[in-house]
Amino acid sequence: MLRFIQVIVCNLPRVYMIPKMAYKAKHTEKYTEEECYEYARLAIRRMMKSGHITTKRFGMENLPKEGGYMMFPNHQGKYDALGIMYAHDKPCSVVIDDAKSHQILTSQFVDLVHGKRLVKDDLRQSIGIIKELAEDTRKGRKFIIFPEGGYCHNHNTLGEFKPGCFKSAVKAKVPIIPVALIDSYKVFEEWTLKKVETQVHFLKAIPFEEYKEMTTVEIADLVKERINNKISEVLSFA
């Protein structure tokens, strides 16, 4: 939380970026997805610099060169999606809990990257989001979806992966990219201003041909296992 306060204070002179995000998000006839995404990444880089945050990325070669796909990372804290976007060069977006998406800056950022807001207790809306994700991904878009749903001081351990989160990938028949986040929780959870380093590992893609005969429960277990194995591997050498 201390680092979060520092980031806010240091970037007060750049508060103009918030209405600019909203403007770019609204005027899609003027700004391409690539332009909006680069502006979002500019905001992330400025936040990282003022917060003394470093993020190392690994496994870029595992990302498909063409077409859409869905990334399923473990969830540790508020920095998770930002760290992935910093590491991911091509435009990607995020699925976020609607209840947490309307705060100032968060709302403008989600709109800028054309994110999806999910109302967790609205079944009809959830089904609609699954269809939208499938349609958009088939058209070549990339999305970040957190299968744990939330986080609660879990650090580098994993919670339950919700099978329903994988329905959109099955419907779209697109590759699934497990993403292992390491030490991402340290950014805004630890009460310190010391330099912090996180890691983003893009793991080997799981093509539709590999998971098409699996249930969503089996897919969730497979993705969780691969992420857990990577985290254990990295931490064993730390």
Q: Rounded to two decimals, what is the model's pTM?
A: 0.96
Instruction: With cut-offs at 50, 70 and 90, classify the pLDDT of residue 121.
Output: confident
Q: 214-238: per-residue pLDDT in tens?
A: 999 999 999 999 999 999 999 998 7
Residue 51 has what pLDDT?
96
| Domain count within the chain | 1
Compute the distance between CA of residue 155 and CA of residue 159 in angstroms, rounded to an integer.
10
Range of the domain at 215: 2-236
What's the rounded mean pLDDT across residues 51-60? Answer: 98
Phi, psi at residue 72, to the nearest 5°? -120, 100
Mean pLDDT across the chain, nearest whole number?
Answer: 96
Return the beta strands (E) in the chain as ranges: 53-58, 69-73, 93-97, 116-118, 142-144, 176-182, 196-202
For the chain, percent of residues with pLDDT exceeding 90:
91
Read off the pLDDT of residues 130-175 as tens digits, 9 standing for 90 and up: 999 999 999 999 999 999 988 888 899 999 999 999 999 999 999 9
Q: Report d(CA 8, CA 14) in Å as an integer.
A: 10
pLDDT at 152: 82
How far is Cα 69 from Cα 172, in angstroms, rounded to an integer?
A: 9
Q: Is 57 helix (H, G, I), strand (E, B) or coil?
A: strand
Q: What is the CATH number of the domain that holds 100?
A: 3.40.1130.10
Confidence of residue 1 (pLDDT cuts 50, 70, 90): confident
